[in-house]
C-alpha cells in the first residue's frame, strides 16, 4: 500500500515539475526570470563565460569536458588537503591519494560510490562544500547534456532556418547547466531539506556529540561513550536524493536514523529518488512538441512547408510512450523485489525464523519499503540505500543489478534519459528495417556512422564490467571480499556494475579501499559517465544536420503501443543476452542453490 | 526469356563447390560474424586432434567441429546459391548476344560486315528485317517493329522510331519489319546488360548503406557475446569451476547472430535478382534499396496514367437530333481519318451498333492548322450516286472539329449555332475531356466526347503504392480542370497542371527540399535531368539513350507502373534483413537455456532448473543446439531468396506482424526444434 502511494505521488508530482522544466529551458521569457536571471548573470560573469551564444555539438561537448576536468582537479586537490582547510572540528586527517582520486571522480561522475566512511574520513568542508557542490553541479550538467541531445534529435534550435548539413545550435552549455542548478535542483533541495529538517534530520556545523551509553558495556572493548557525528545533514541528504547522487552524510546512508528518521522522511526521500528523472520525460514531451510547433510556425511565416520530422502530437505521444515503457519496467521490478523480500532468508532456513527477509534491513521500514527503495535507487542511478543490498534475497539482488545494467528506467538525471534514447535508437533500427524503411528517428536517418557509435555503446558495458570483474576475480588477493563462492562473484560484479552505471550503491562486504579497487573503479566510473553521455551527443549532433523526411503513412509510429513493446523487448533482450552467463555465476547461481 | 526464380540443379552443384572455396581466409574474413565461427571451428578441430593424441574420448569434440564446419559452409552456400542463380540469369541474358554480326556503314556510305564485338560508340550500323540488332543504340533513321521477347519475355512487338522518345534498341533483340540505321551507344561489354550481368553475378556487388549499418550492429553484438563468453572461465575459476573450452565455443557460436550474418549476402544478391526477375535493370544495389524509402512518385500523365491518345467515349446529340444521326455523321467524318482520335470514333460507333459505310466518291479533308477541322466532302453529283442513305444525312459534307472552328465554319455556311451547344461543350471540358463538334451540311448535330482513357489497373496500383506510403504526383501539360478530373479518376494524390517538360526538374528539387525521397519515371531526352536528380530514376527501355544514362534503373518492359515492383523489392530487402536479425537474436534465449545448463552441469548443483526443456544428456543437448543453429541457415535460404512477403498494411501493423512472426516465433521455435532434435538423437544413440 505504502509502495503504491509513494509511486503514485512521485508520478503526480513529476508532471507539473516537467512542465515547469520545459518552460525554464525553452529560452523564452518566463516568470522564473524575475527571481533567477539576476543571480545567474552574476554567476556567469564571475566564471567569465558567455551564457548566450549557441553551441554546436562539438562546442557543447568540449565545454562539458572542460568544466568536468576543472571541477575534478579542484575536488581532488581539496580532498587531498582537507586537513589544512577550515570546517574540520573533528580534526579528520588527509585521504590517501587513490582514495581521494576515487572520491573526487565518484562524485564528479554523479555516482557517489563511497570507498570512505563519510563521517569518519571526511571533514565538514569536504562533505558540505566539495561534495555537495558536485552533487548539485553533476546532475545539472547531466540534465544539460540531455537537453542538447534532445535538441539535436530535432535539428537544433536553428532547425527552422538551417539547411541540411549546416551546423546546428544545441543551446548553451553554461546557461543550461546553470539553470538546471538554480531553477530546478536548488529550489527543490531547499524545500526537501526543510521538510527533512522538520522530521529531525540534523542541520548544523557542530562537532560530534558525545553520548553516554544507556546500558553498561558488556565487554572491555566496547566504548563507554558513543560519539555521534552531526553536521549539515539535511541539505546533503536532500540533494543526494534529488540529484540521483546517492552519497549520504553517514556511511550507512539512509539506513542511519539521523539521515532518515521517520516514515515520512523515508517516503519523501523515496519520492525524491525518482522525481526529477520522471519529470525529465514530461519535459522531453514538452520540448519536442514545442520544437515541432515552433518550426511549423516559423515555416508558415516564411511561406515554406514545415521542415520537421515530427508533429507536436507525436512529440507528446513519444514522451508518453517512454514514460509508459519505464513505468511498466519499473513497476514489474518493484513488484518482483517486494515479493522477493517477503520470502524468508534462505540462510535462516531451519532456524524457525518466519516472515520476510529482514537481514540487513531497518525494522522501522520493513521489507516492502526497503525493496521499493532498493529497486528505485538502482534504476535511477542514485545509489543511496535504506537497507543493505548485500543481504537482499537473490531475486531482489538480481533486480537491483538489472536496474543498474539497464540504467535507463528513469535513470540518473540526464544520463538516464540519454541511455533510454540509445535503446530507442537501437529499437528504431531493428523496427525500421522490419517495416521496410531505412531506419529514421524524427525524420532523420540512422546510418552506418551512427550505428558504429551505437555499436560502441552496446559493447561498452560488457567490456568494462565483465573484463574488470574477470581480472579482479582472477587475482584473489585483489578481490578482498568477505564471501567466498558465488556471492563473492556477485559482490565484485555489483561493485563494477554500480561504478559503470554511475549508481554508487554498494553491495558492501567488500574491502574496497585499496589502490586496485580505487583505481579500477575510477576507470569504470569515467568510462561509464563520459562515453554514454558524449557519444549520444555526437550521434544527436550528426542527426541534427541530416535532411529531414516529413512523417508519413509509412513511417514508424514511435508513439504506438507496438513500438513501446519493441522497446521493452529490446531493453530486456539485450541485457539478458549480454549478462546471463555472468549472472549464472552470481545471483542466479545463488538462487538455484537456495531453491535446491 | 523466362527469368525463373527456380534454382537449377546445376546452380546447386556449383554453389556447393563455391561454398568450399569461400572457406579461404581472405573470403571468410568478409563477414566478421562468420569469421568468428570459422576460427571457433579450427580451434575445435585442434582440440579434437589433441584429445585423439592424448587417448581421451574425442567423439563429442569431433561432432562439434563438424557441425561448426557445416555452419560456415551453409552460410557460404547461401551466398553461393544466390550468386549462382544470378549467374544463371546472367547466362540467359548473355545467350541473347552471342556471335552477332553487324553491317557497319562507314562515312562514305559503304557497308561492311563486321563482328558485333568490334563495334565502337558512334558507329552506325544498318539492320534489315529478320536480323538481330548487334549493339545497344539509338535509331537514327527509320521506323521499326522489334521483338524484344529475348529480353523481356513479352512477345508482342514494340514500335521504335528515329527522332522520337522511343528510339532506343537493345542488342540481341530481333527486328521484325522496317530497315533501320542504328547509332551504337555502348560498346560491347559496356552496355546496360553487361553491367547488369556483372551485378547479378555478384562480382561487382558492393554492400548497400543499410547492409553496412546492419553489419556494424552484428559485429558489435558478436563482440558483446565474445566478451560474455570469454570472461566466463576466470569468473568460474574463482569458485573452483573449470569450464570445457569446447562448450564455450559452442556457447559462443550459438549466441552470435550466425543466422542473419550467414544469410545477409544472399539477401542482398537476391534483391538484385528479384529486380531482374521483374525485368528491371538496376545500376546498383543501392538504387534498389533506396526504392524502399521512396515516398513521392512523379509521373507523366501521358503514356503512364493514360494511354496518351484521346479516345471517343460518348456521343452527345443536341436537342432535336437523334443519337443515330449524330453517330452516323460522326462516323462519316472519321472513316478516313488516320489519327487515333478518328479511329476511336469509328470504334466507339461500331460498338454502339453503327454500320455506316464510306460513300464511294467521298473525298477526305484532312485536319489543317487553318481550318482546324477534318471530315469528308461529297462531290456535288454524289447526291445522286446511289449513296442515298449517307447523303441524306450529310448532304454534301460531314466535319468534326474544335467547337470554335466548327462554329465559325457553320456560320460561314449559313448554318445556325444552337444555343444548347455551348452548355454541352463546357460540360465536357469540365469533365477533363475534349469536345469535338460535329457538323453536316444541314446543321450542327452535337458533340463527340474525347477522353483521355486511363489505363486499366492504374488506380489499384496507386492505391497499393499509397498503402506503402508512396504519394503519387501526376505531371501534365493539361489545364488544371482537365488535370484535376483525370487525377480524381486515376486516384493520384496530387497533380501539377500546365507543366512543361523542363519543369519536372524544378518539381523534383522542390519535393526533395521538403525532405521527400522522389522517384521519377521517364523516357524522353528532356526527362534526363529530372531522372538524374530523382532519388530513383526509372528509365523506360524504349526511351532515349540520354534517359537511360541518366536514370539509375531501366525497365525492360517499359511499364511506368513498374515502380511499384521496385518499391516492393526495396522494402523486402530491408524487411528480410530486419526480420532475420530479430529471429536470430530471439533464438538466443532458447539456446542459452540449452547450453548454460550443459556448461555448468557438472559443477553447479541446481543448474538443472534452468534446463527448461529437460534435455537428459548435456553433450547431446549441446549438439542438438549446434545442429539447430547450423541447419536453420539452409532452411531459411528460400526465405532469404524470395524475401519476406510484404502486404500493403500500416507501418504499425507491419511491425506487429513481423514482431510476432520473427520475434515471438524466433523465441519459441528453437525450444521446440531443439527438443525434437534432442529426442531424435537420444533415440538414435
> pLDDT value at position B552?
84
Query: Given the DSSP bridges, would you call strands B111-115 and B101-105 parallel, antiparallel or unpaired?
Result: antiparallel
Q: What residue in A sits closest to B651 (Cα-Cα)?
A: A554
Q: Note whether B276 and B254 are within 8 A (CB).
A: no
Tell me the nearest-neighbour CA distance from B290 into chain A, angstroms: 8
- Is the pLDDT reported for residue B271 higher than 70? yes
Tell me the nearest-neighbour CA distance from A593 into chain B, angstroms: 6
The residues in B 207-246 lying below 8 A from A, measured between CB atoms, are 209-210, 212-214, 216-217, 219-221, 223-225, 227-229, 231-232, 234-239, 241
Q: Which residue has the cell 523526411?
A: A549
The residue among B273, B291, B283, B271 whose CA lies nearest residue B573 is B271
DSSP-assigned beta bridge partners for residue A63 = none
**What digits encode the pLDDT tens for the residues B380-400?**
554 444 444 455 555 678 888
DSSP 8-state symbol, B102: E
- The pLDDT-based confidence of B36 (bands split at 50, 70, 90) is very high
> pLDDT value at position A218?
64
Taking CB atoms and an 8 Å limit, are A470 and B231 in contact across chains?
yes
> pLDDT value at position A586?
83
DSSP 8-state symbol, B158: E
The residue among B153, B158, B152 whose CA lies nearest residue B139 is B158
> pLDDT value at position B152?
63
Q: Note whether A435 and B651 are within 8 A (CB).
A: yes
Backbone angles phi, psi at B444, to 5 degrees: -80, 130
DSSP 8-state symbol, A128: I
Q: Looking at beta carbons, which residues of chain A come within 8 Å of B655?
A: 431, 434-435, 556, 562-563, 566
Distances in Å between the Cα of B644 and the Cα atoms of A113, A511, B96, B104 are 50, 56, 32, 49
CATH of domain B101-134+136-185: 2.70.150.10
Q: Does A552 touch chain B (CB under 8 A)?
A: yes
Distances in Å between the Cα of A171 and the Cα atoms of A42, A47, A318, A558, B503 are 20, 18, 22, 25, 40
- Domain residues of chain B, as ranges? 9-90+200-278+568-684, 101-134+136-185, 312-451
Q: Least CB-CB distance to B579: which of A434, A473, A582?
A: A434
More confident residue, B628 or B172: B628
Q: Note whether A327 and A335 are within 8 A (CB).
A: no
The residue among A548, A579, A365 whose CA lies nearest residue A440 is A548
Q: Looking at beta carbons, which residues of chain B come within 8 Å of A398?
A: none
| Residues of B with catalytic function | 300
DSSP-assigned beta bridge partners for residue B180 = B127
**Residue A279: all three cell numbers together:** 519529470
More confident residue, B305 or B329: B329
Q: Which residue has the cell 571457433?
A: B40
Q: How far apart are the first and last CA of chain B?
A: 51
Q: Note whether B448 and B330 are within 8 A (CB).
A: yes
Cα dihedral B457→B460→B466→B472 (10° resolution)? 30
A30: left (phi over 0), alpha (psi -120 to 50) or beta: beta
DSSP 8-state symbol, B450: E
Q: Note whether B573 and B271 are within 8 A (CB).
A: yes
Task: Please report the DSSP string for A312-380 in residue order.
Answer: HHHHHHHHHHHHHHHHHHHHHHHHHHHHHHHSPPGGGTTTT--SS--TTB-TTTHHHHHHHHHHHHHHT
Q: Does A565 touch chain B (CB under 8 A)?
A: yes
Between CA B461 and CA B579 the distance in angstroms is 26
> pLDDT value at position B228?
92
Taking CB atoms and an 8 Å limit, are B659 and A489 in contact across chains?
no
**What digits encode the pLDDT tens for the residues B38-74?**
999 999 999 999 999 998 888 899 999 999 999 999 9
Between CA A349 and CA A473 the distance in angstroms is 29
> pLDDT value at position A268?
92
More confident residue, A76 or B278: A76
Count of other CB atoms within 10 angstroms of residue A4: 11
**Share in percent of chain A as helix, strand, coil (round to 5):** 65, 5, 35
Q: Note whether A408 and A536 are within 8 A (CB).
A: no
Q: Does A302 touch chain B (CB under 8 A)?
A: no
Distances in Å between the Cα of B69 and the Cα atoms of B27, B40, B73 are 15, 9, 6
Mean pLDDT of B508-531: 83
Q: Does B122 touch chain A (CB under 8 A)?
A: no
Between CA B525 and CA B547 the distance in angstroms is 5
Choice among A230-234, B154-158, B668-672 with the minimum mean pLDDT: B154-158
Between CA A273 and CA A376 the distance in angstroms is 7
Predicted confidence pLDDT, tens digits, chain A (596 residues): 788 899 999 999 999 999 999 999 987 888 888 888 888 889 888 888 888 888 999 999 999 999 999 999 999 999 888 888 877 777 777 888 888 899 899 989 988 888 877 666 788 788 778 888 898 999 999 999 999 999 999 888 888 777 777 888 999 999 999 999 999 999 999 999 999 988 888 877 776 777 776 766 666 555 667 777 777 888 888 888 898 888 777 777 888 888 888 889 999 999 999 999 999 999 999 999 988 888 888 877 776 666 667 888 888 999 999 999 999 999 999 999 999 888 887 766 666 656 778 887 888 888 888 889 888 888 888 888 888 887 888 888 888 889 999 999 998 899 999 999 999 999 999 998 888 888 888 889 898 999 999 999 999 999 999 999 999 888 877 777 666 778 888 888 888 999 999 988 877 667 777 888 889 999 999 999 999 999 999 999 999 988 888 887 778 888 889 999 999 999 999 999 999 888 888 888 888 877 76
Taking CB atoms and an 8 Å limit, are B216 and A305 in contact across chains?
no
The CATH superfamily label for domain B312-451 reads Calcium-transporting ATPase, cytoplasmic domain N (3.40.1110.10)
Within 8 A by CB and 6+ apart from A157, the residues are A27, A54, A151, A168, A169, A170, A171
Q: Does B582 touch chain A (CB under 8 A)?
A: yes
**What digits encode the pLDDT tens for the residues A302-314?**
766 666 678 888 8
> pLDDT value at position A503?
87
Residue A417's Cα: distance from chain center in Å? 9
> pLDDT value at position B50?
92
| Cα-Cα-Cα-Cα dihedral sign, residues B183, B185, B186, B187 | positive
Q: Looking at beta carbons, which residues of chain B come within 8 Å of A432?
A: 574, 578
Q: Least CB-CB distance to B654: which of A430, A435, A474?
A: A435
Q: Note whether B232 and A479 are within 8 A (CB).
A: no
- Each residue of A60-93: b (16+ CB within 10 Å) or e? bbebbeebbeebbeebbebbbebeeeeebeeebe
Burial of B480 (0-12, 13-18, 19+ CB in 10 A): middle
The residue among A545, A564, A454, A567 whose CA lies nearest residue A154 is A545
Q: Does A65 touch chain B (CB under 8 A)?
A: no
DSSP-assigned beta bridge partners for residue B124 = B105, B183
Amino acid at each position: 500500500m505504502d509502495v503504491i502511494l509513494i509511486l503514485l505521488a512521485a508520478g503526480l508530482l513529476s508532471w507539473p515539475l516537467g512542465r515547469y522544466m520545459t518552460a525554464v529551458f525553452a529560452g523564452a521569457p518566463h516568470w522564473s526570470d524575475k527571481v533567477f536571471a539576476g543571480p545567474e548573470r552574476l554567476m556567469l560573469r564571475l566564471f567569465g563565460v558567455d551564457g548566450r551564444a549557441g553551441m554546436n555539438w562539438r562546442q557543447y561537448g568540449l565545454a562539458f569536458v572542460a568544466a568536468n576536468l576543472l571541477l575534478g582537479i579542484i575536488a581532488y586537490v581539496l580532498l587531498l588537503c582537507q586537513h589544512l582547510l577550515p570546517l574540520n572540528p573533528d580534526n579528520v586527517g588527509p585521504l590517501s591519494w587513490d582514495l581521494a582520486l576515487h572520491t573526487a571522480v565518484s562524485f564528479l561522475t554523479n555516482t557517489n560510490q563511497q570507498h570512505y566512511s563519510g563521517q569518519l574520513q571526511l571533514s565538514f568542508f569536504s562533505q558540505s562544500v566539495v561534495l555537495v557542490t558536485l552533487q548539485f553541479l553533476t546532475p545539472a550538467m547531466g540534465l544539460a547534456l540531455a537537453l542538447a541531445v534532445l535538441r539535436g534529435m530535432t535539428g537544433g534550435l536553428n532547425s527552422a532556418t538551417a539547411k541540411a548539413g549546416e551546423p546546428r545550435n544545441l543551446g548553451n552549455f553554461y546557461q543550461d547547466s546553470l539553470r538546471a542548478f538554480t531553477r530546478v535542483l536548488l529550489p527543490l533541495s531547499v524545500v526537501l531539506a526543510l521538510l527533512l529538517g522538520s522530521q529531525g534530520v540534523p542541520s548544523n556545523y557542530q562537532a560530534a556529540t558525545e553520548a553516554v551509553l544507556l546500558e553498561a558495556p558488556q565487554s572491555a572493548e566496547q566504548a563507554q561513550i558513543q560519539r555521534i557525528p552531526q553536521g549539515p545533514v539535511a541539505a546533503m541528504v536532500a540533494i543526494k536524493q534529488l540529484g540521483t547522487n546517492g552519497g549520504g552524510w553517514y556511511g550507512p546512508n539512509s539506513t542511519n536514523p539521523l539521515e532518515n528518521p521517520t516514515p515520512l522522511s523515508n517516503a519523501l526521500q523515496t519520492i525524491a529518488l525518482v522525481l526529477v528523472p520522471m519529470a525529465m520525460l514530461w519535459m522531453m514531451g514538452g520540448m519536442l512538441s514545442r520544437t515541432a510547433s515552433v518550426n511549423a510556425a516559423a515555416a508558415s511565416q516564411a511561406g515554406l512547408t514545415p521542415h520537421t520530422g515530427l508533429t507536436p502530437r507525436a512529440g507528446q505521444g513519444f514522451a508518453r510512450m517512454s514514460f509508459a515503457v519505464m513505468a511498466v519496467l519499473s513497476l514489474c521490478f518493484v513488484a518482483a523485489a517486494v515479493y522477493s523480500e517477503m520470502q524468508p532468508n534462505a540462510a535462516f532456513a531451519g532456524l524457525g525464523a518466519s516472515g520476510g527477509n529482514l537481514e540487513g534491513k531497518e525494522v522501522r521500514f520493513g521489507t516492502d519499503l526497503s525493496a521499493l527503495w532498493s529497486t528505485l535507487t538502482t534504476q535511477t542511478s542514485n545509489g543511496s540505500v535504506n537497507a543493505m543490498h548485500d543481504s537482499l534475497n537473490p531475486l531482489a539482488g538480481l533486480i537491483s543489478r538489472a536496474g543498474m545494467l539497464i540504467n535507463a528506467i528513469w535513470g540518473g538525471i540526464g544520463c538516464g534519459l540519454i541511455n533510454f534514447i540509445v535503446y530507442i535508437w537501437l529499437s528504431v533500427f531493428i523496427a525500421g528495417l522490419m517495416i521496410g524503411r531505412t531506419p529514421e528517428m524524427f525524420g532523420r536517418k540512422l546510418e552506418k556512422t551512427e550505428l558504429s557509435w551505437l555499436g560502441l555503446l552496446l559493447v561498452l558495458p560488457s567490456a568494462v564490467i565483465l573484463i574488470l570483474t574477470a581480472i579482479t576475480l582472477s587475482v584473489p588477493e585483489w578481490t578482498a571480499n568477505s564471501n567466498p563462492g558465488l556471492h563473492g562473484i556477485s559482490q565484485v560484479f555489483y561493485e563494477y556494475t554500480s561504478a559503470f552505471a554511475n549508481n554508487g550503491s554498494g553491495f558492501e562486504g567488500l574491502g574496497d579501499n585499496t589502490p586496485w579497487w580505487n583505481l579500477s573503479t575510477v576507470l569504470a566510473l569515467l568510462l561509464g559517465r563520459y562515453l554514454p553521455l558524449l557519444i549520444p551527443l555526437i550521434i544527436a549532433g550528426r542527426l541534427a544536420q541530416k535532411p529531414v523526411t516529413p512523417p508519413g503513412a509509412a513511417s514508424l509510429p514511435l508513439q504506438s503501443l507496438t513500438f513501446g513493446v519493441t522497446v521493452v523487448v529490446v531493453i530486456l533482450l539485450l541485457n539478458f543476452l549480454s549478462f546471463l552467463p555472468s549472472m549464472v555465476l552470481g545471483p542466479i547461481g545463488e538462487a538455484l542453490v537456495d531453491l535446491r | 526469356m523466362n527469368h525463373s526464380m527456380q534454382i537449377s540443379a546445376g546452380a546447386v552443384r556449383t554453389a556447393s563447390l563455391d561454398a568450399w572455396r569461400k572457406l579461404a581466409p581472405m573470403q571468410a574474413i568478409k563477414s566478421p560474424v562468420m569469421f568468428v565461427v570459422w576460427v571457433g571451428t579450427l580451434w575445435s578441430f585442434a582440440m579434437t586432434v589433441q584429445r585423439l593424441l592424448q587417448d581421451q574420448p574425442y567423439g563429442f569434440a569431433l561432432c562439434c567441429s563438424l557441425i561448426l564446419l557445416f555452419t560456415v559452409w551453409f552460410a557460404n552456400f547461401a551466398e553461393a546459391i544466390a550468386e549462382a542463380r544470378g549467374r544463371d540469369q546472367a547466362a540467359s541474358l548473355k545467350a541473347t548476344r552471342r556471335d552477332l554480326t553487324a553491317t557497319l556503314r562507314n562515312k562514305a556510305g559503304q557497308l561492311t560486315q563486321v563482328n558485333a564485338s568490334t563495334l565502337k560508340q558512334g558507329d552506325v550500323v544498318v539492320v534489315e528485317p529478320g536480323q538481330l540488332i548487334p549493339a545497344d543504340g539509338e535509331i537514327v533513321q527509320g521506323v521499326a517493329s522489334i521483338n524484344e521477347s529475348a529480353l523481356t519475355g513479352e512477345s508482342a512487338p514494340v514500335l521504335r522510331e528515329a527522332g522520337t522518345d522511343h528510339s532506343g534498341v537493345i542488342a540481341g533483340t530481333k527486328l521484325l519489319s522496317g530497315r533501320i540505321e542504328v547509332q551504337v551507344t555502348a560498346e560491347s561489354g559496356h552496355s546496360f546488360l553487361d553491367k547488369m550481368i556483372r551485378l547479378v553475378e555478384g562480382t561487382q556487388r558492393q554492400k548497400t548503406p543499410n547492409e553496412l549499418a546492419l553489419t556494424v550492429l552484428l559485429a558489435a553484438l558478436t563482440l558483446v557475446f565474445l566478451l560474455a563468453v570469454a570472461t566466463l572461465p576466470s569468473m568460474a575459476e574463482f569458485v573452483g569451476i573449470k569450464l570445457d573450452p569446447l562448450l564455450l565455443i559452442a556457447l559462443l557460436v550459438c549466441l552470435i547472430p550466425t543466422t542473419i550474418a550467414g544469410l545477409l549476402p544472399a539477401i542482398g544478391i537476391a534483391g538484385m535478382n528479384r529486380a531482374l526477375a521483374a525485368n528491371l535493370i538496376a545500376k546498383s544495389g543501392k538504387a534498389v534499396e533506396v526504392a524502399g524509402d521512396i515516398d513521392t512518385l512523379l509521373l507523366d500523365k501521358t503514356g503512364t496514367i493514360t494511354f496518351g491518345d484521346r479516345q471517343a467515349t460518348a456521343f452527345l446529340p443536341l436537342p432535336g437530333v437523334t443519337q443515330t444521326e449524330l453517330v452516323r455523321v460522326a462516323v462519316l467524318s472519321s472513316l478516313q481519318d488516320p489519327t487515333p482520335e478518328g479511329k476511336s470514333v469509328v470504334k466507339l460507333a461500331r460498338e454502339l451498333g453503327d454500320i455506316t459505310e464510306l460513300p464511294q466518291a467521298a473525298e477526305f479533308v484532312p485536319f489543317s492548322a487553318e481550318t482546324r477541322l477534318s471530315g469528308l466532302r461529297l462531290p456535288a453529283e454524289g447526291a445522286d450516286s446511289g449513296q442515298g442513305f449517307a447523303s441524306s444525312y450529310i448532304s454534301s459534307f460531314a466535319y468534326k472539329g474544335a467547337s470554335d472552328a466548327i462554329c465559325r465554319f457553320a456560320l460561314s455556311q449559313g448554318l445556325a449555332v444552337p444555343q444548347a451547344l455551348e452548355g454541352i461543350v463546357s460540360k465536357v471540358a469540365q469533365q477533363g475531356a475534349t469536345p469535338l463538334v460535329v457538323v453536316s451540311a444541314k446543321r450542327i448535330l452535337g458533340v463527340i466526347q474525347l477522353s483521355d482513357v486511363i489505363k486499366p489497373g492504374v488506380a489499384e496500383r496507386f492505391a497499393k503504392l499509397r498503402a506503402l506510403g508512396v504519394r503519387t504526383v501526376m505531371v501534365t501539360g493539361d489545364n488544371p480542370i482537365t488535370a484535376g478530373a483525370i487525377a480524381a479518376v486515376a486516384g493520384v494524390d496530387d497533380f501539377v497542371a500546365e507543366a512543361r517538360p523542363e519543369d519536372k526538374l524544378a518539381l523534383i528539387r522542390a519535393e526533395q527540399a521538403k525532405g521527400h525521397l522522389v522517384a521519377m519515371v521517364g523516357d524522353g531526352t528532356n526527362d534526363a535531368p529530372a531522372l538524374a536528380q530523382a532519388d530513383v530514376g526509372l528509365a523506360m527501355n524504349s526511351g532515349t539513350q540520354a534517359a537511360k544514362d541518366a536514370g539509375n534503373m531501366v525497365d525492360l518492359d517499359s511499364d511506368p507502373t513498374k515502380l511499384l515492383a521496385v518499391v516492393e523489392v526495396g522494402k523486402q530487402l530491408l524487411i528480410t534483413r530486419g526480420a532475420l536479425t530479430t529471429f536470430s537474436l530471439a533464438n538466443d534465449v532458447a539456446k542459452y537455456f540449452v547450453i548454460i545448463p550443459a556448461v555448468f552441469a557438472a559443477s553447479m548443483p541446481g543448474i538443472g532448473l534452468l534446463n527448461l526443456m529437460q534435455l537428459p544428456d548435456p553433450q547431446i543437448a549441446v549438439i542438438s543446439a549446434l545442429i539447430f543453429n547450423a541447419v536453420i541457415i539452409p532452411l531459411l535460404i528460400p526465405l532469404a531468396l524470395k524475401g519476406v512477403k510484404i502486404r500493403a498494411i500500416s507501418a504499425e501493423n507491419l511491425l506487429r506482424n513481423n514482431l510476432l512472426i520473427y520475434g515471438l516465433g524466433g523465441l519459441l521455435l528453437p525450444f521446440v526444434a531443439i527438443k525434437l532434435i534432442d529426442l531424435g538423437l537420444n533415440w538414435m544413440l
